[in-house]
Structure 1
Amino acid sequence: MLKLFAKYTSIGVLNTLIHWVVFGVCIYAAHTNQAMANFAGFIVAVSFSFFANAKFTFKASTTTMRYLLYVGFMGTLSVVVGWAADRCSLPPIVTLVTFSAISLVCGFVYSKFIVFRDAK
């Protein structure tokens, strides 16, 4: 399981970079709130994460149901973290770091035991 988590983390680094860039553009160029910026960053990065993890981490086929399960869970997590950040007036960097940490751990557990549970 540790090797699997290491693969998931490697893809997560690229996913995080994508997410952070989009988040920054939304906050500093488009002047959106953090919930919207976090969700936009998520939307752009989530497809990469899903397909890369299906292929390289879990060696599983991609199905519409798996995609919807993954996107639904991670999207909800993204909005909740962004909403909480706005309510607490957290600086954007704190929101990014918090979401990155939470989504890495929760995303791995959810992917392994729910989304790709039947993968060989």
Structure 2
Amino acid sequence: MWKLFTKYGVVGILNTLIHWMVFLYLYYELLQKQAISNLVAFAIAVTFSFFVNARFTFKSYVSLKRYVLYVAFMGAMSWLVGALADNQKINPILTMTIFSAISLVFGFIYSKYIVFRTKPQ
């Protein structure tokens, strides 16, 4: 389990870099709200994360159903964190840090037991 989580974490570091760079560009350069910036950054990063985790971490196949399950769950978390941050006027860097931690833990659990689970033989 720890080996799998470590692989997920490595992909997560790359995914987080993508997410943060896009978020910061949209928020600071294009002056978008946190919720929108976080959601768009998420959409780009989550696609990378889905395909790399499917192949590298879980050694599983990809399908539209799995992609939709993954994107819907992670997207809901992304939007919720961004919306709460906008509402509470939380610093964008703190917002991204909070989202990164939450998505690492809950994303791994959801991926392992729902999206990429293997059927019992």
Task: Report the TM-score when normalising by structure 2.
Answer: 0.97
1:108 matched to which residue of 2? 108
1:71 matched to which residue of 2? 71
1:92 matched to which residue of 2? 92
> Residues 42-68 of structure 1: CA distance to partner in whole angstroms, max 9, x if unpaired?
011011000000000000000110000
Q: Whole-Å Cα distance in 2 between the matches of residues 46 and 29 of structure 1?
A: 22
Deviation at 1:33, TM superposition (A): 0.5
Compute the RMSD of aligned alpha carbons.
Answer: 1.1
Q: Whole-Å Cα distance in 2 between the matches of residues 10 and 91 of structure 1?
A: 26
Q: Whole-Å Cα distance in 1 between the matches of residues 41 and 16 of structure 2?
A: 9
Deviation at 1:13, TM superposition (A): 0.2
Paired residue secondary structure (1:90): coil
Q: Whole-Å Cα distance in 2 between the matches of residues 34 and 91 of structure 1?
A: 9
Percent identical residues: 54
Gaps of 5+ in 1: none
Q: Whole-Å Cα distance in 1 between the matches of residues 25 and 119 of structure 2?
A: 36
Gaps of 5+ in 2: none
How many residue pairs are counted as aligned between the two chains? 120
Task: Report the TM-score when normalising by structure 1.
Answer: 0.98
Paired residue secondary structure (2:16): helix
1:35 matched to which residue of 2? 35
**Counterpart residue identity of residue 99, structure 1:** F
2:12 matched to which residue of 1? 12
Query: Does structure 2 conserve the Cα–Cα contact (< 8 Å) formed by 1:60 and 1:119?
Result: no
Check 1:61–1:86 CA distance in 2 against 1; reply closer, same or farther (3 A cut).
Answer: same
Q: Whole-Å Cα distance in 1 between the matches of residues 28 and 93 of structure 2?
A: 12
| Runs of 4 or more above 4 Å deviation | none
Query: Does structure 2 conserve the Cα–Cα contact (< 8 Å) formed by 1:59 and 1:119?
Result: no
Query: Does structure 2 conserve the Cα–Cα contact (< 8 Å) formed by 1:111 and 1:117?
Result: yes
